[in-house]
Amino acid sequence: MIEEQRIVKVGMADLNIIQQAGLIRTTGLGSCVGLTLYDPLAKMAGLAHVMLPTSTIAREGELNIAKYADTAVPALLEQLLSSGADKKRIVAKMAGGSQMFTFAGTGDSLRIGPRNVESCKEKLSELGIPLLAEDTGGNYGRTIELDCETGILFIRSVQKGIKEL
């Protein structure tokens, strides 16, 4: 008998964690970055769907910390630690940050994908979390899911099929 696998879905500009078993997934990443943190011993995984590189540009009333790389990465780490993960064991993987459209001679906002990636990396190194693998850049969309039991990150795209990290 096949057991129904539990799937935790993470929306755009959102973050969540999963424990014990199942998958944590986010769909349709373009310039957004899907950043995952994983504690292999506690079998605990977290995923943030990051939309923008830095919260310093935020003009919203109440800051959505999941939306910005500089606030989402620490918040996700904090959530894992408070649920019992050990910081020493936590490793990161990430995907996304593509440039869906390319134009000549337009503004900085077009580079948002690469800037999201850079900002996530900066934050990870500040927090001392090793980045094990990444599948970033390009000009295509990705759907990702992390298997909470194995820590394998599955990346699905229209052009390249399924990839495992």
Partner 1 sequence: MDVLKEVGNIGAGNAATALSRLLNKPIDMAVPKVQMLPFEAVAEKVGGAECIVLAIFLRVEGDAPGNLFFILSPEGAKKLLHRLAGIHVESEEEFSEMEWSALSEIGNILAGSYLSSLADFTSLAMTPTVPALAMDMAGAILSYGLLQFGEMGDSALLIDTTFIEDQQEVEGQFFLIPDPESFDKIFTALGVPMNDD
As annotated, the active-site residues are 32
Q: How many Å separate Cα 54 from the centre of its chain? A: 15
- Give the x-and-dash track for 138-157 against partner 1 (CB under 8 A): -xxxxx--------------
If the CB atoms of residues 58 and 165 are measured against partner 1, the closer one turns out to be 58
End-to-end CA distance of the chain: give it in Å, rounded. Answer: 28
- Give the x-and-dash track for 10-49 against partner 1 (CB under 8 A): -xxx-------------xxxxxx-----------------
Q: Report, in Å, the least distance between residue 55 CB and partner 1.
A: 9
Token pair 């408070």: residue:
82
If the CB atoms of residues 2 and 158 are measured against partner 1, the closer one turns out to be 158
| Binders in 92-111 for partner 1, by CB under 8 A | 98, 100-103, 106, 109
Query: Strand ranges (DSSP E) for the chain?
Result: 7-9, 15-19, 23-29, 33-39, 44-50, 91-96, 131-136, 142-147, 153-157, 161-164
In DSSP terms, 79 is beta-bridged to none
Closest CA to 48 of 59, 62, 38, 63: 38
The one segment of 55-63, 83-91, 117-125, 126-134 that binds partner 1 by CB under 8 A: 55-63
Q: Give alpha helix (H) positions in the chain.
A: 69-82, 112-127
Binding residues vs partner 1 (CB under 8 A)? 11-13, 27-32, 51-52, 57-61, 64, 67, 98, 100-103, 106, 109, 112, 139-143, 158
